[in-house]
Homo-oligomer: A and B are copies of this chain.
Amino acid sequence: MSERNPTYYDGDLRRELLDAAKLALAEQGASAVSLRSVARAVGVSHAAPAHYFTDKTGLFTDLAAEGLALLADILTEQVELAGDDPVEGLTASGVAYVEFSQEHPGYFEVMFRRDLIDLNDPTYAESGVRALTVLTEAVAACQAAGWGRGEEAWVLTDVAWAAMHGVASLSALGVLGRPASSQDTDSVAAAVTRALSDAFRSR
């Protein structure tokens, strides 16, 4: 997606279209977002998005790739920050994953939707591999430190990913928390993520 001639004027319109799409996705969900509505939100011709993204799948794919790259960066940072404590690195990654989904619901809405994006897009795939590699290495470091021994490495990676992803998804749905109370979504997700991390940590 989106190969552009870098020697030429690289205006803000592409950026603005992506931001508008991200906002609309967060506020109204994917079913309400069209190329025309995005163009309308930015105030340009309805044909403009096709210039940058070819088609609707292109727009969503570029947005998903951008989000996935940011997520990979965030996970990498968390693992690096944790330094010599790999279990802390994995825990912090989980917390950061959930926070990412809350801070960027627009990204999260399309990042894992195979009916909306091209999973084989090189940029998207590269970031996906990067994020998964960080997670895999973090798990391997935990195992080297004695955590989760006796389990195959990829199983533990999937377990960690699934746990993070589950909290992020249900948190976005707004179904977590003490029944019939209106707690702050972020703090609920934080409590759940923390409890989940503790469960892993105590192994």
Contact = CB atoms under 8 A, between A and B. Distances in A.
Contact of A202 (B162, B164, B196, B203): B203
Interface string A108-135: 0000111110000000000000001000
Interface stretch (A1-9, A39-47, A149-157): A149-157
Interface stretch (A11-19, A78-86, A165-173): A165-173
Interface in A145-186: 151-152, 154-156, 158-159, 161-167, 169-170, 173-179
A154 B170 contact: no
Secondary structure call for the A interface = helix
A179 B31 contact: no
Interface residues on A, range: 35 or more
A100 interface: no
Contacts of A151: 195
Contact of A196 (B31, B136, B159, B178): B159
A200 to B, nearest CB: 6
A192 B159 contact: yes
A161 B158 CA distance: 16
A202 B191 CA distance: 21
B177 A154 contact: yes
Interface of A: 28-32, 112-116, 132, 136, 151-152, 154-156, 158-159, 161-167, 169-170, 173-179, 188, 191-192, 195-196, 199-200, 202-203
Given A112-B173, A152-B178, A199-B203, 10 more contacts: A28-B115, A114-B174, A154-B179, A155-B195, A158-B177, A159-B192, A161-B166, A165-B169, A166-B167, A169-B169
